[in-house]
């Protein structure tokens, strides 16, 4: 059985004198999906966020609910790792709620509940997702074709319908999800 790794998180703040300080320096353990609501073995490190427009100066105290996506004006910062073939990670923790509406093109359904969906189903969320591939590769499936992204590539998903095609090797992505409104 493979072991999971923790992620170091360093959060800065501003003290009452206006000085920059380290407010938090800790390790975050991943949530590992069981295969419902995400691919079995997918890992998610929930690092930071805000549920509205951030107010500065910030004291470095977490003020966000546990969700993958933020409400409009807010944001979430995650590291996400799609599993490779032969994944042997034991599921752990509770996969967080979406936090926004998710639309599915296969059923036409729009809901804040994921249901029994894996990433290979075309979906969209009310968010702008800034994604940086840190390791591995993954294919982004869109209506006009597939785009394979690799380590060092950046994707910006503007609430558009998409799906993921996994390469068989782990792919680690840093995701900053900005909560948006859909007209």
Q: What is the pTM of this model?
A: 0.89
pLDDT at 164 over 50: yes
pLDDT in tens, 10-33: 999 999 999 999 999 999 999 998
Give yes or no for residue 94 having a pLDDT over 60.
yes
Of all residues in the chain, the percent with pLDDT exceeding 90 is 59
Residue 10 lies in a domain: no
In a domain, 60, yes or no: yes
Report yes or no on 1 lying in a domain.
Answer: no
Read off the pLDDT band of 165 (50, 70, 90): confident
Q: Establish if 35 belongs to a structural domain.
A: yes
Verify cis geometry, omega within 30 degrees of 0, for the bond prior to 109: no
- pLDDT averaged over the chain? 88
3-state helix, strand, coil in the chain (%, to 5): 0, 45, 55
Lowest-confidence segment of 1-5, 83-87, 168-172 by average pLDDT: 1-5
What tokens does 76 get?
A: 């979430």
Q: 1 pLDDT exceeds 50? A: no
The domain tally of the chain equals: 1
Domain that holds residue 97: 19-179
Listed residue (46, 176, 37, 162) closest to 104, CA to CA: 162
The pLDDT score that the predictor gives to residue 107 is 75
What phi and psi, each to the nearest 5 degrees, are found at residue 48?
A: -165, 170
Q: What is the CATH number of the domain that holds 50?
A: 2.60.120.10
pLDDT tens per residue, range 47-73: 999 999 999 999 999 989 999 999 999
- Average pLDDT of the residues in 104-119: 64
Query: Is residue 168 situated within a structural domain?
Result: yes
Domain-embedded: residue 11: no
In this prediction, residue 113 carries a pLDDT of 61
Domain contains 4: no
pLDDT tier at 37 (50, 70, 90 boundaries)?
low
Residue 173 covered by a domain: yes
Greatest C-alpha distance within the chain: 55
């Amino acid at each position: 059985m493979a072991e999971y790794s923790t992620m170091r998180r360093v959060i800065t703040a501003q003290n009452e004198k206006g000085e920059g300080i380290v407010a938090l320096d800790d390790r975050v353990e991943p949530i590992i999906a069981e295969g419902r609501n995400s691919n079995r073995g997918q890992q998610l490190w929930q690092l930071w966020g805000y549920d509205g427009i951030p107010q500065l100066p910030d004291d470095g105290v977490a003020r966000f609910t546990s969700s993958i996506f933020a409400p409009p004006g807010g944001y979430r910062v995650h590291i996400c790792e799609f599993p490779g073939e032969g994944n042997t990670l034991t599921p752990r923790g509770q996969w967080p709620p979406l936090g926004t509406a998710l639309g599915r093109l296969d059923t036409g359904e729009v809901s804040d509940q994921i249901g029994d969906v894996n990433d290979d189903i075309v979906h969209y969320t009310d968010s702008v997702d800034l994604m940086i591939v840190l390791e591995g590769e993954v294919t982004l499936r869109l209506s006009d074709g597939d785009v394979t992204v690799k380590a060092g590539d950046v994707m910006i998903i503007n609430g558009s319908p998409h799906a993921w095609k996994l390469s068989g090797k782990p792919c680690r992505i840093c995701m900053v999800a900005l909560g948006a409104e859909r007209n």
